[in-house]
Amino acid sequence: MTDHVSGFGSAATLEPFSRATSVRAVQEGLLTAELSGEWTIVGRPNGGYLLALLGRAAAELLGTGQVMAASAHFLRSPQPGPVEIEGEVLRRGRLISQVRVRMVQDGRSCVEALMSLGELDPAAEPRWDAGVADVPYVSFEDSVRLAPVTPDGSRVALFEQVDVRLDPDSMGGIIAARPSGLGQLRGWLKLLGDEDFDPISLLYAVDAFPPTTFDTDFSGMVSTVELTAYIRAVPAPGPLRVVNSARLIDHHCVDEMCDIWDATGRLVAQATQLAVVPSS
């Protein structure tokens, strides 16, 4: 049931995630990067993509370790093109170290983030696990790939870089204005091209799905205020299983919780975000 939704371009340029998030150290505490035009939604870089780029910058500044916890507050949406990343190592610890990073474009701060980094041991097994969320399971093969267009026809370039699939029962609000009303999107993610997800691209994965508001009666654009991600393990190769749930839409905001399991069923990432919704 793949490629069910029409609209895939035949000439999409694959831009590997590692290249789209590469950073270059310029001087102490300053890096530069180029925001990709391919990892965008209606021309704007995705928030998780920005978080991943900042995560790479934080690891570069520290010189060791991987991001375990990342918290970002979004001030302004940057355009594709050059950005500067200002950063500071706040503390070097035995287990955990902290780094502050800020993405600046045209002299204005766009994203401010704090990161805690440590060593993710690829061989370490979970010691206790509450188990997979009690939600319906639909396989990668039986899920439906989203076309690189919004419901109103604007281009979602990044859906040509990553195969984003939804459980058919959770996508009624996206393709046909028939939300289930549960505020939940379930599905899968797979990078196109030769790369598999790694701890850096997991920071993108937690924000890769359409807004859960599409599965309620509030289908307008949402804008992320805060995004926090915890990276729990190095993911095994293969697609990621994703469950995104909203709990409450109030006057201004919606929350969204994201859990991600790798192809072996291991919980590899968790995230929450608060986003502004169109006012009532």
- CA pair distance 38, 41, nearest whole angstrom: 9
Among 6, 127, 152, 153, binds its own copies (CB under 8 A): 127
Distance of CA 148 to the CA centre of its chain: 16
Say if residue 94 is exposed, middle or buried (CB neighbours under 10 Å; 0-12, 13-18, 19+). exposed
Interface size with its own copies, residues (CB under 8 A): 58
Among 18, 22, 109, 180, binds its own copies (CB under 8 A): 109
DSSP state of 137: -
Only segment of 13-21, 50-58, 88-96, 190-198 that touches its own copies (CB under 8 A): 88-96
Among 5, 20, 62, 68, binds its own copies (CB under 8 A): 68
Among 69, 89, 104, 221, binds its own copies (CB under 8 A): 69
Among 33, 56, 218, 239, binds its own copies (CB under 8 A): 218
Q: Which helix (H) or strand (E) holds 172?
A: helix 172-175
Q: How many CB atoms lie within 10 A of CB 175?
A: 16
Among 4, 44, 73, 190, binds its own copies (CB under 8 A): 73
DSSP state of 141: T
Q: Are 232 and 212 in contact (CB under 8 A)?
A: no
b/e for 120-159, b at 16 or more Cβ within 10 A?
beeeeeeeeeeeeeeeeebebeebbbbbbbbeeeebbbbb
Among 27, 28, 121, 194, binds its own copies (CB under 8 A): 121
Q: Does 248 bind its own copies (CB under 8 A)?
A: yes
Complex with its own copies: residue 52 or 233, whichever CB lies closer: 233
- CA pair distance 263, 266, nearest whole angstrom: 7
Give the footprint of its own copies on residues 178-217 (CB under 8 A).
182-183, 216-217
Tokens 């859990």, located at residue: 259
Q: Does 128 bind its own copies (CB under 8 A)?
A: yes
Q: Are 205 and 242 in contact (CB under 8 A)?
A: yes
Q: Does 245 bind its own copies (CB under 8 A)?
A: yes
Q: Nearest Cα to 95, choosing from 70, 126, 120?
A: 120
For residue 200, the one-letter residue type is I
Complex with its own copies: residue 32 or 71, whichever CB lies closer: 71
Tokens 């910058």, located at residue: 57
Only segment of 48-56, 66-74, 198-206, 234-242 that touches its own copies (CB under 8 A): 66-74
- CA pair distance 259, 108, nearest whole angstrom: 32
- CA pair distance 234, 126, nearest whole angstrom: 12
Only segment of 24-32, 127-135, 146-154, 155-163 that touches its own copies (CB under 8 A): 127-135
Q: Does 90 bind its own copies (CB under 8 A)?
A: yes
Q: Does 280 bind its own copies (CB under 8 A)?
A: yes
Q: Does 50 bind its own copies (CB under 8 A)?
A: no
Using CB under 8 A, list all residues that contact its own copies: 68-69, 71-73, 75-76, 90-91, 93, 95-96, 98, 100, 109, 112-116, 118, 121, 124-130, 182-183, 216-218, 225-226, 228, 230, 232-233, 245-253, 255, 257, 259, 267, 270, 272, 274, 276, 280
